[in-house]
Copies of this chain bind each other. A is one copy, B any other.
């Protein structure tokens, strides 16, 4: 009944773990080679140098339309004393590319001749092999076409074929067996039940291997059973070049991989001082590398990049491709535990000729922090974090041009921003919209710090009873900008379908049996909540769950849908999206701030174009429900 004592993992510093892994790889042979057709060789890696087996051209040919001649016969020809050459004997008609007839050694262009009976008349001599494409002009037999360890491109395929090679020796593609483990793990296309875990990791890791030049074989999920796991690993080691076991590599009671690997072979590293990815296991069974990959998706991703990528490159005889890196400024300070290398996922935007990096969340289980990230920052072990304004190296997950073409929208969350992102891509495929949800006030501050191209805001000023403008006047007084309406929307209380707790209004938040979920400080919705609570004379300490903050309307709705809360303040669309009930509280104005510094950019102009002119977009917003788009695109204020 009592849980087993947890064995805490002794961790190795990352640099040391990488070094041990490199040492280990030195002892692993390159993968064997295979002879394949050159026409199928795109992106394969040569295992031997490729030499030309024949020259190209491989015969002497005319380079012009004209007549093949012997240069000796043309000596003495001039304007004043033209020469006549007998057709068929001294001159033979040839077209470009045709073989030079035997016994001839030059070509005179048709333009430089005229015909008289069975002769041509020439007015100048030719030099040996003039107007002739000689053997080997492009490729000389025996010359090196490709060195070994070369990744074959389309033009290399042509060069090998031109040089008489129709087959080529290449490295076999390394085969990685991927074994998902855990009794609760199911195939990701199955209908899940409460408690089951979808194995999407295998397909992420497998496709990373494909990108690195390998292939993968994903096994069906294996239950937490020592005997089955042992047999599965043994068979996989026989069948493939590398084995990756997902989950079960830590030191808990269900973590069987370390014991199995230790029994079958040798553990090289177990546990690395890194975050995420700490419970990684690196081992060897029968001289095949075995990687124990943590089950959290971000951990799995980072571990694979650090350890599996160099392994695949090593097997193929390649240097791993270095990722693209840029320098960026941190938009806010980040603390990081001493003694651990942290891999921080960031969004990157180019604003005002500088790259700005903003963290996107740190949970190892949050796949979307990798999926949405533009890059990763490595915070070294010996560092306690990164100061705001610090310059950092960002390893990019997207191309720098893509980042350049991304409009960064920071501020209040609204469901229409997803729609806007998709319409932008549809109308202007070069551009993307990336939105970060930090609340209306966060959006205004991001514009002030020039970290965003667009700010989304719906802040109500109680004194002037006006939206947004008083805040802009106060906080952005030095910034030239246009404030443009996106829409008006319904805010209200989101409650479960059928409203089982019978919530009627803000008064019910006082009830002991009602759990509320709040929005984060600085969001317009939080301000709204505080205003209506104040008006109702309710103190925040009376509200169960007032401290639990979500960053988006969908986050609030999702908490209500799952039963984690009974009620939250949010927009009608969020309630509709998850089929929840809604009690209206107010109608509010949602505007976008377009600072002058970003209105210069074509990408931002494209966003503005959609908001101002795109009827389809407007209709799509209306069909979400709860939106009034009458003022969409209207300039509400300018300074």
Is B554 within 8 A of A154, CB to CB?
no
Known contacts being A365-B137, A578-B141, is A158 close to B197, with CB within 8 Å? no
- Most chain B Cβ neighbours within 10 Å, of A145, A200, A548: A200
For the complex, is A340 an interface residue (Cβ under 8 Å from B)?
no
Which one of A317-325, A484-492, A531-539 contacts B?
A: A317-325
Q: Which residue of B lies closest to A554 (CB)?
A: B140
For the complex, is A85 an interface residue (Cβ under 8 Å from B)?
no
**Once the chains are docked, how many angstroms separate the CA of A93 from the CA of B558?**
26
Q: Which residue of B lies closest to A142 (CB)?
A: B577
The minimal Cβ–Cβ distance linking A25 to chain B, given in whole angstroms, is 13
Contact of A148 among B37, B149, B425 (CB under 8 A): B425
Is B558 within 8 A of A421, CB to CB?
no
Is A143 within 8 A of B515, CB to CB?
no
Copies per complex of this chain: 2
Bitwise interface map of A from 157 to 191 toward B, beta carbon under 8 Å scored 1, else 0: 11101100010000000000000000010001100
**Once the chains are docked, how many angstroms separate the CA of A115 from the CA of B148?**
66
A545 contacts across to B, CB distance below 8 A: 128-129
Interface size class of A (residues with CB under 8 A): 35 or more
Which one of A55-63, A271-279, A496-504 contacts B?
A: A55-63
Is B371 within 8 A of A155, CB to CB?
yes
Bitwise interface map of A from 181 to 219 toward B, beta carbon under 8 Å scored 1, else 0: 000100011001011011011011111101100000000
Which one of A94-102, A282-290, A446-454, A469-477 contacts B?
A: A94-102
For the complex, is A136 an interface residue (Cβ under 8 Å from B)?
yes
**Once the chains are docked, how many angstroms separate the CA of A143 from the CA of B128?**
74
CB-CB contacts below 8 Å: A551-582 with B: 552, 554-555, 557-559, 561-565, 577-578
A418 contacts across to B, CB distance below 8 A: 49, 143-144
For the complex, is A39 an interface residue (Cβ under 8 Å from B)?
yes
Which one of A229-237, A384-392, A426-434, A628-636 contacts B?
A: A426-434
Q: Which residue of B lies closest to A190 (CB)?
A: B166
The minimal Cβ–Cβ distance linking A256 to chain B, given in whole angstroms, is 14
Q: Which residue of B lies closest to A545 (CB)?
A: B128
The minimal Cβ–Cβ distance linking A167 to chain B, given in whole angstroms, is 9
**Once the chains are docked, how many angstroms separate the CA of A314 from the CA of B136?**
39
For the complex, is A547 an interface residue (Cβ under 8 Å from B)?
yes
A205 contacts across to B, CB distance below 8 A: 154
**Once the chains are docked, how many angstroms separate the CA of A161 from the CA of B204?**
10
Known contacts being A97-B197, A203-B39, is A155 close to B370, with CB within 8 Å? yes
Known contacts being A370-B155, A562-B60, is A110 close to B422, with CB within 8 Å? no
Is A135 within 8 A of B429, CB to CB?
no
Is A559 within 8 A of B134, CB to CB?
yes
Is A135 within 8 A of B200, CB to CB?
no
A415 contacts across to B, CB distance below 8 A: 142
Is A515 within 8 A of B319, CB to CB?
no
Which one of A1-9, A258-266, A587-595, A607-615 contacts B?
A: A1-9
Is A135 within 8 A of B562, CB to CB?
yes
A56 contacts across to B, CB distance below 8 A: 198, 367
Known contacts being A144-B422, A319-B430, A367-B159, is A547 close to B136, with CB within 8 Å? no
Q: Which residue of B lies closest to A316 (CB)?
A: B429
Binding site secondary structure of chain A: loop
The minimal Cβ–Cβ distance linking A487 to chain B, given in whole angstroms, is 18
Is A99 within 8 A of B319, CB to CB?
no
The minimal Cβ–Cβ distance linking A536 to chain B, given in whole angstroms, is 21
**Once the chains are docked, how many angstroms separate the CA of A565 from the CA of B136?**
13
Is B139 within 8 A of A367, CB to CB?
yes
Contact of A155 among B301, B421, B563 (CB under 8 A): B301
Known contacts being A136-B554, A159-B371, A365-B133, is A149 close to B425, with CB within 8 Å? yes
A424 contacts across to B, CB distance below 8 A: 147
Known contacts being A60-B564, A134-B564, A198-B161, is A426 close to B148, with CB within 8 Å? yes
Is A368 within 8 A of B159, CB to CB?
yes
Q: Which residue of B lies closest to A45 (CB)?
A: B429
A133 contacts across to B, CB distance below 8 A: 365
CB-CB contacts below 8 Å: A20-63 with B: 37-39, 42, 49, 54-56, 58-60
Chain A interface residues (CB < 8 Å from chain B): 1-3, 6, 37-39, 42, 49, 54-56, 58-60, 65, 87, 93, 95, 97-99, 105, 110, 115, 127-129, 132-145, 147-150, 153-159, 161-162, 166, 184, 188-189, 192, 194-195, 197-198, 200-201, 203-208, 210-211, 252, 254, 297, 301, 317-319, 321-322, 363, 365-368, 370-371, 399, 401, 415, 418, 421-422, 424-426, 429-430, 432, 515, 544-545, 547-548, 552, 554-555, 557-559, 561-565, 577-578
Known: A149-B429, A161-B189, A161-B203. 11 other contacts (CB 8 A): A37-B189, A58-B194, A97-B184, A140-B555, A144-B421, A147-B426, A154-B205, A155-B301, A158-B297, A162-B367, A166-B188
Give 9 closest A-B pairs by Cβ, nearest first.
A135-B562, A136-B558, A154-B207, A158-B204, A161-B200, A144-B418, A166-B189, A161-B188, A319-B430
| 19 intermolecular pairs with C-beta atoms under 8 Å apart | A1-B115, A3-B110, A6-B65, A49-B422, A128-B515, A136-B554, A138-B366, A142-B578, A145-B371, A147-B421, A148-B426, A149-B425, A150-B425, A154-B206, A154-B207, A154-B210, A155-B371, A157-B204, A318-B429
